[in-house]
Amino acid sequence: MTTLRELASRPLRTFLTVAGIAIGILALTVVGSLAERLQTIVARSTSLNSDVVFATIQRSVMLAPDAKVRVARVFAQLHAIDGVRAAVPEIIVPYETDNAGRFGPPSLVLGFPAEARALERSLLSVARGREPESGERRVAVIGPDFGAAQRVELGDVIALQGNSFVVVGVLDKTFTIFDAAVVVPFTDGQDLLRQLLSPTLDRLPDDPVSAFLVAAKPGSDVSLLARRIALIDGLAARDPREIAAAVRSTLGIFDAIVFGAALIALLVGAFSVVNTMTIAVSERTREIGIRKAIGATDTDILLTFVGEAAAIGALGGAAGIALGLAVVAGLDARSAAGGSVQLFAISPDVALGAFTFSVVLSCVAGLIPAFTAARLPPTVALRH
């Protein structure tokens, strides 16, 4: 209480110093929330590709006169590769609409057979509604971001390539491509693929596919498996671990830049703490002398001024965290309403880390003026 009364005795100076710390902590909270969400997105994507390889069929193969034979050959070659547990055909076609203003992965229409749904059970978890039943047609399960962007709810009818589909389910949030996707029965997906390539419809095989979900056997090297798949004529596949490493490297550079900017803001706040405490020591020189004359030790004086610096850091940290959480909550709410990726993770770890850093930094910044006050000889102090 004594510390707070001392701070309250010089309200303008205290307010400006606390505001300087709060601005730095605001930046650190926003940046920390962004970094944590990006790490979550990378972790989910890495988990998605941990034991599977997505192999896409080249367009030239699908449109070739002997497409049926070539796709069948590709399918057989996939199964013959050592380390392949299953190769499930899929349909991937773009969802053609105006996505202006939406940030995130492109909206795709995905056609999965039952085998693929079993492999992707953790990512294709239905949060509301239900999954399509066996043999059911013209139904769809949508991702949460797709629903928000297109203003579509459970039970609504959506148009895909001019065909009507009833939304029977909404997927759980995964922070992967499925959040902005539409999942339809495999047969419907094949119809959409035929319709998309209508000028060359007579060249498509009877059972067209556009990609394969290749699951690796337990213990298999997924990177080696991806390279083997890429050697098959007509298929394109990338090493999922290579992709994840590239993304992590990019995020590392991004984190260094944004955290550096936040630390600069905090250092500016720290200098304001040094300035405030230095002025406080010069103004309270006589008080220091009187306290020493009646028995106060150097440690008592040191702790007094370090305690005031810590209080400034605590107030600035609390204010900055509150402002930061309000900012990221508002940005995430706006992104969710527009179907964009929510880029901030409001985490207790981020808030606690920012608050601790604020207090520690303020204490360190207050040490120099506190040492000056503690070492002041009583006789010199009493002359003031």
Among 50-59, 92-101, 347-356, which is the least confidently predicted range? 92-101
Dist CA 249 CA 325 (whole Å): 27
pLDDT average, residue stretch 155-175: 89
- The pLDDT tens digits of the residues spanning 7-18 come to 666 778 778 888
Query: Which 3 state secondary structure label does DSSP give 103?
Result: coil
Dist CA 98 CA 230 (whole Å): 33
Asked if residue 211 lies in contact with residue 54, where contact means CB atoms within 8 angstroms, the answer is yes
Confidence class of residue 319 from pLDDT cuts 50, 70 and 90?
very high
- Residue 357 token pair: 């850093």
Helices (H), the chain: 2-8, 11-48, 59-62, 67-80, 114-119, 144-150, 186-196, 222-230, 240-283, 285-293, 298-338, 348-374, 378-382
Q: Are strands 52-57 and 211-216 parallel, antiparallel or unpaired?
A: antiparallel
pLDDT at residue 203 greater than cutoff 60: no
pLDDT of residue 210: 80
pLDDT of residue 141: 92
Q: Of the spans 155-159, 227-231, 358-362, which averages the highest pLDDT? A: 155-159
Dist CA 24 CA 358 (whole Å): 9
List the chain domain ranges.
Answer: 2-44+246-382, 52-219
Dist CA 269 CA 286 (whole Å): 28
User: Closest Cα to residue 144, out of 123, 108, 174?
Assistant: 174
DSSP letter, residue 361: H
Mean pLDDT, the chain, whole residue set? 79
